[in-house]
Amino acid sequence: MVRLVLIACVGALLRACPLSAACPAGCECSEAAQTVKCVSKELQSIPLGIPGYARSLFITGNRISRIGPGSFRGLENVTNLSLSNNRITEVQSQAFSSLRGLRSLDLSGNQLFVIHPEALVVSAGSLRELNLSRALYNRSCIGDLAVALRWGALGSLQTLDLSGNRLVLLPSGIFGHVPNLRRLVLANNSLVVVHNGSFSGLERLELLDLTHNSLKTLGEDALGEFELLSGALLLLGENPYACTCGVEDFAAWLNSSRARVTDAERLVCSSPAALRGTPILGLGGQILGCHDGPVGEGARLALQTSYAFLGVVLGFVGVIFLFVLYLNRRGIKKWIVDTRDACHDVLEGYHYRYEIDSDPRLGHISTSGDL
């Protein structure tokens, strides 16, 4: 009898054991929803014993500082993993590589400082969405992240959120190994420039968000980059645009790209003070005063140039004239000789007549005849 009860108890325990072990302390598990949530429980590491049925795994708002390589062993069915708002500073090599079906990884709201080159490797290249919003300790970490993006085999990544990381510059070619990216969110950083090559390799991009940055001008390089992203909608608002003479090209480009820049109407000047709040779309050269200073200078220069040109032309004509004279020197000599001869003949004629006229004998006759 006692034995039987014991066996029954052990049986119950065995049945109960997998159930109690099925959900780690501090977590809520729902087999029906295939979801495990361990939210705001001051956990210091990824809990052990997360059930294998989990597809969505939320371990958020805890105090986890490090993600090691064995953290997610046996969780082959997880598609969505959120580790947002922990205090993660280090992600080790291959930390997520056992998550074979991982499609969405949210690391937002952390302080990543040590990012190993193979930190983002997800086997089978299944990752579609990576959220690194407010995830970097400081902007110096972008270099390590660029390396991890390169080595992560993220060929199927479609969405990358890098907002709120105080980024000032993007390492050149940082997106060269995520060729299928559709959405790139760089909002709420401190980006000051878009270099030639900043977005190379993103031919499939559908949306680029650069709002809330520190862009003062978008020059030839930036506009060239945007032209390469021909299929992408652009968000460029909330930047401190400087409406000095150089902004003309940008304004013209913006006018012709209104269909792509979805917030084109909301782009306004921040400086100079006189133009603060003026929509960039409405800017014409005359408002900017670019045609008074530099163009007045230009006109003066043009005038000087035309005087110099006139001088050169006159000199040239003179040289040609002398040259023609030189070439024609025989003809001219002949003409001079002919003219002289002709004159001579005429003079001789006069001389003859004069001699006749002055012949006293004839003169006398005629004079007397006149009288």
Ligand X SMILES: *[C@@H]1O[C@H](CO)[C@@H](O)[C@H](O)[C@H]1NC(C)=O
Binding region for ligand X (CB under 6 A): 52-53, 56, 76-77, 80, 84, 103-104, 106, 108-109, 128-129, 131, 133-134, 138-140, 159, 161, 164, 166, 185, 188, 196-197, 220-221, 224, 252, 255, 284
Based on CB atoms, which residue is closest to ligand X, 47 or 367?
47
Both tokens of residue 324? 């023609």
Residue 100 structure tokens = 């074979």
Residue 92 beta carbon to ligand X: minimum distance, rounded to whole angstroms: 19
Shortest approach of ligand X to residue 11 CB, angstroms? 23
Residue 218, Ramachandran bin (φ over 0: left; ψ between -120 and 50: alpha; else beta): beta
Among candidates 88, 87, 31, which has minimal Cα distance to 56? 31
10 versus 165: smaller Cβ distance to ligand X: 165
Please, what is the minimum distance in Å from the beta carbon of residue 106 to ligand X?
6
Cβ 50 to ligand X shortest distance, Å: 10
Nearer to ligand X, 153 or 281 (CB): 281
Dist. CA 192–CA 215, nearest whole Å:
5
- Smallest distance, ligand X to C-beta of residue 311, A: 39
Q: Output the residue with the shortest Cβ distance to ligand X.
A: 52
- How far apart are alpha carbons 256 and 353 in whole angstroms? 92
Q: How many helices (H) and strands (E) does the chain have?
A: 8, 15
Which tokens in the block code for residue 258? 């209104």
Residues across the chain: 371
Task: Give the C-alpha separation, 247 to 254, whole Å.
Answer: 10
Beta carbon nearer to ligand X, 129 or 263: 129
Closer residue to ligand X in complex, CB, 185/243: 185
